[in-house]
């Protein structure tokens, strides 16, 4: 089990989608929140709604986490406000889609900075907080894209494979130190994600709601699981690489994700 009441959770990418769904689910459990993203208006509206409805403290920190030094700025801001983080949810992330050389190099650099570098730096900065009471939590949002290379989403798939590997390693390092670590691996989910990608061709299978993903995630987190693939269909999609050779898997995924135009 994990006791959420009167603890503080920091959620990156809290202004929409899965991050916003985490914010609601944790507020219902009486957990105070630190909401981080770039969209100040959305974050402030969310904080207002959550504190009014659930009587929790919701702090807003507006930051572009892909910019250099942002994780350190975030940590300093949290310290300045004399807050301690018990549960860290590294959720902010985005994907790019298409032939690698045709996608902006700057955008793919931003993708690595946000999905990987910021996630590692934020985790490192808050680790002493998470470990201090032998009762902390870390949820890193990976993806079913992590289980095999993803042609046409080469950078995204690699960032999410990193998140899965990194999180599972931390799960093993910390399981006897009172810190629960979960790599959350959703499949296609009904959020702004595909609008940001700019194509729904990267969407495989039916989409889950962010509320379902978060419900499944919290259940797995409380059980102390190291990773969780949300949804039965997504579970089987993620097993393809276990049943076929690496090359056959690549061919299957290449055909599935190949742009139609």
| Active-site entry in 4, 97, 156, 235 | 156
Structure tokens at 45: 């509206």
Options 22, 181, 189, 253; binder of ligand NAP; rule CB under 6 A = 189
What is the rounded distance in angstroms from the CA atom of residue 93 to the CA atom of residue 78? 21
Structure tokens at 197: 């990608």
Cβ 56 to ligand NAP, closest distance in Å? 19
Reply yes or no on whether 4 is catalytic.
no
C-beta closer to ligand NAP: residue 4 or 156: 156
What x/- string results for residues 23 through 62 when contact with ligand NAP is judged by CB under 6 A? --------------xxx-----------------------
Return the ∠ at Cα 91 (arms to 88 and 92), rounded to 5°. 125
Region binding ligand NAP by CB under 6 A among candidate stretches 13-21, 51-59, 75-83, 168-176: 13-21
Binding status of residue 230 toward ligand NAP by CB under 6 A? no
Binding status of residue 104 toward ligand NAP by CB under 6 A? no
Cβ 158 to ligand NAP, closest distance in Å? 12
Binding status of residue 15 toward ligand NAP by CB under 6 A? yes
**Mapping DSSP to helix (H, G, I), strand (E, B) and coil, where does residue 5 land?**
coil
Cβ 200 vs Cβ 185: under 8 Å = no
Region binding ligand NAP by CB under 6 A among candidate stretches 2-10, 81-89, 126-134, 185-193: 185-193
Region binding ligand NAP by CB under 6 A among candidate stretches 9-17, 77-85, 219-227, 237-245: 9-17
Scan for tokens 């202004």, then name that residue.
Answer: 15
Scan for tokens 């993203």, then name that residue.
Answer: 37
What x/- string results for residues 128 through 167 when contact with ligand NAP is judged by CB under 6 A? -------------x-x------------------------
Strands (DSSP E) found in the chain: 8-12, 32-37, 58-62, 87-90, 136-141, 179-185, 227-229
Which DSSP state fits 239? T
Half-sphere exposure of 16 (CA within 13 A, CB side): 15
Among 241, 243, 215, 244, which Cα is nearest to 228's? 215
C-beta closer to ligand NAP: residue 16 or 148: 16
Cβ 78 vs Cβ 61: under 8 Å = yes
Query: Which chain residues interact with ligand NAP by CB under 6 A?
Result: 13-19, 37-39, 64-66, 91-95, 114, 141, 143, 186, 188-189, 191-193, 196
Active site residues: 156
């Amino acid at each position: 089990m994990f006791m959420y009441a009167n603890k503080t959770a920091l959620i990156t990418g809290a202004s929409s989608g899965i991050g916003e769904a985490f914010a609601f689910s944790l507020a219902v459990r009486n957990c105070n929140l630190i909401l981080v993203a770039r969209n100040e208006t959305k974050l402030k509206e969310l904080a207002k709604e959550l504190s009014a409805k659930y009587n929790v403290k919701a702090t807003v920190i507006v930051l572009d986490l892909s910019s250099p030094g942002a994780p350190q700025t975030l940590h300093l801001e949290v310290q300045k406000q004399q807050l301690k983080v018990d549960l860290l949810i590294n959720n902010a992330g985005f994907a790019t889609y298409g032939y690698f050389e045709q996608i902006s190099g700057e955008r793919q650099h931003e993708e690595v900075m946000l999905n990987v570098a910021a996630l590692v730096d934020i985790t490192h900065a808050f680790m002493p907080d998470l470990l201090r009471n032998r009762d902390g939590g870390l949820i890193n949002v990976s993806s079913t894209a992590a289980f095999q290379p993803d042609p046409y989403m080469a950078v995204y798939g690699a960032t999410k494979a990193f998140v899965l590997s990194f999180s599972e390693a931390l799960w093993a390092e910390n399981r006897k130190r009172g810190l629960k670590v979960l790599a959350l691996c959703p499949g296609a989910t009904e959020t702004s994600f595909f609008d940001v990608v700019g194509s729904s061709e990267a969407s495989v299978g039916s989409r889950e709601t962010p509320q379902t993903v978060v419900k499944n995630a919290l259940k797995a987190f409380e059980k102390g699981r190291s990773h969780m693939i949300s949804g039965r269909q997504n579970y089987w999609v993620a097993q393809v690489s276990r049943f076929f050779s690496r090359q056959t898997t690549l061919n299957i995924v290449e055909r599935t994700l190949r742009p139609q135009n």
